[in-house]
Structure 1
Amino acid sequence: MMPIIRRIIYSPAINYVLRNILKPFRFCLPASCRIPVSGTIKIKLKGDQFILMTTNQTNYLTKKVFWGGIEDYEYPTVSVFLELIQDMNCFMDIGANIGYYSLMAARLNPRITVHAFEPLPSAFLFLQKNIELNQLNNITAYRLALSDRAGEAEFFATKMAKAMYLEHHISGTSNLARAKDSFSEAIKVNTQTLDSFVKDYSIRAVDLLKLDTEGTENLILNGGRELIAEKKPIIISEILPGKIENELDEFYRENNYLYYAAKPEGLIAVDSLSGYSNAKEDFFFIHRSQKSRLNPFIKD
């Protein structure tokens, strides 16, 4: 019975009606009544700016922003990102999933060029749909995994156990490093280094990188050593505890980068990633010579 009920609740038309009936009561609703989203939602940004996102119930991000707005998902990071992105020319969204950060960047800064990387076929399909839905011609999407070498690799796409009937799972928790389990699908993906990518596409300037690849960020950085040494982009990255902190510490120190944890009160200077937190955290990394660009957001 429950699988049938889920199919009904998450059919886009029924889901649209249910969630919009419940939304006015969101502040008094139990968490279980804040149902995941299936279909298209409108997300308010700054002023009268907004983006549209097509999604399904396997995506946690769109559930959070539907019920709580952009303030309810990674807002310490998003609030700084929304300010920084307006003065940038080139943004690389590595691990773009269905396009949240890419869409925000392209909407708020029509002059920017966005390169969005997503190797998972289902997430890439929704990424393309969302770019088209928002009529944004300054985003280019690539079904590609950036790594420390070019070639082919096995990518583990995580599936939601309660939605196995769906063709497309877009949770954003899949990567090259995840061990295969009963709810993962192994997919062959093409890999390329960041350095070779910027050369192949004649990209001259990169102002901002966002890395969200669930524990393979060190491989991407090692494949982009030339770019990072030359262009010194600001880097936003989610760090999972107990994974690759030592490797990241070594890389950022070698490249003379400073670390800042994204907190509700602002960006907090951090000396080391190793042992900093037992929970996943977002960090901003900036070359020492560029520190002034983050000064408005740094909490002393």
Structure 2
Amino acid sequence: MSQAATLPDTSSPFGTYPAERLVRAAWRLADRHDLSRGLRKRIRGLVARVFKGPYDLEAEGLRFRIYPGENYDDRKILAKGRLPERKEHRLIAPYLGEGKVFVDVGANIGSYSVFAARSGAAVLAIEANPQTARKLSFNVEANELDTVRIVNSAVGPREDTLPLWQEPSNCGFATFVKDLTTGEWEGDWTATFVKVRPLTAIADEHGLTGIDVLKVDVEGFEDRVVLPFLRHADRSLWPRVILLETNCRPYWTEDCIAELASRGYGTTGRTNDNMVFELSA
């Protein structure tokens, strides 16, 4: 039976749950990619039962309260002692800083939002999962960042309420695409209905007049976030740079990449899971 999600502790001060040496060693073992995928999964299940978290630790000078038993990003931070998606961070870093605006759709626990806010950027962090949004809020407060606004909402093409599918071993991999819950990502998925809003409405509500970097990581729903926004937002609000998760591209209903190209976005970076697009002048 899958482990139930841990209720997040958002009241105890940072440092209450130190990650001791044994904890770090166990999660490094569970993250060893020289082991077979099946063996790694079995080890991870055992480690998650014994060392599920929470733990407080710093990675690259940033503070996080993590729950490695239930989130991939948390496991990576603990096992490697650094932020995940370092290549992606390097690709967007030149566009961040004082006076810049970063919009994070699918903010998870904040590895992008906290990174962007540390650079001085104003951040709008949007997270659909209420429990994950609470963890995100704690991490923002632990880093004493006052430039981050958190929106607990999903983003989609229209105002709606939809089932958000979640798997207890990786709450950061929540999705609206039910087909994604089988095959490679088969697990103990359950659905919770959440509010969905267009990005145009959220941007208007928060008074955005420009976006320097838009990051979208919503597990196969990226096309239904980005394309309606570009079709309905004033061109002055189009992001200069878009960091788009593409590893779930087969589940898109429309080809984001082709439409981005038709609207003047060129590809300026690529990693295993993401692509970066910049709007031509």
| Whole-angstrom distance in 2 between the partners of 1:59 and 1:23 | 12
TM-score of the two chains, using structure 1 as the length reference: 0.71
Match in the other structure for 1:204: 209
Aligned to 1:238: 245
Tell me how far apart the structure 1 counterparts of residues 18 and 209 of structure 2 sit (CA, whole Å).
Answer: 47
Q: Indicate which of 132, 139, 142 corresponds to 1:123.
A: 132
2:24 aligned with 1:16:
no
- Aligned letter for 1:53? F
**How many angstroms does 1:17 deviate by?**
4.8
**1:151-203 Cα shifts (integer Å, max 9, x gaps):** 2212112223xxxxxxxxx5311111134676122111111111122222221
CA 1:228–1:251: 2 relative to 1, 3 Å: farther
Query: Alignment partner of 1:125: what SS?
Result: helix
Tell me the TM-score normalised to structure 2 length: 0.75
AA of the residue aligned to 1:64: K
In structure 1, the partner of 2:71 is 59
Paired letter, 2:172:
G
Change (3 A) 1:244 1:107: same
- CA 1:82–1:67: 2 relative to 1, 3 Å: farther
Q: What corresponds to 1:270 in structure 2?
A: none
Contact 1:257 1:287 in 2 (8 A): yes
Tell me the CA shift for residue 221 of structure 1. Answer: 1.3
Q: 1:25 to 1:96 in 2, by over 3 A?
A: closer
What is the CA distance between 1:213 and its match in structure 2? 0.2
Corresponding residue number in structure 2 for 1:166: none
1:39 to 54, 66, 83: 54
Match of 2:161 in 1: 152
Q: RMSD in angstroms over aligned alpha carbons?
A: 3.4
**Whole-angstrom CA distance in 2 between matches of 1:228 and 1:75:** 32
Question: Which residue is 1:171 aligned to?
Answer: 171
Computing the radius of gyration over CA atoms, which structure comes out larger, 1 or 2?
Answer: 1
In the alignment of these two chains, the number of paired residues is: 249
Q: Which residue does the alignment assign to 2:276?
A: 284
Q: What code does the residue aligned with 2:96 have?
A: I
Identity among equivalent positions (%) equals 19
In structure 2, what is the Cα distance between the partners aligned to 1:145 and 1:22? 34
Extract unaligned runs of 5+ from structure 1.
161-169, 264-279, 290-300
> Match for residue 68 of structure 1?
80
Partners of 1:25 and 1:199 lie apart in 2 by 46
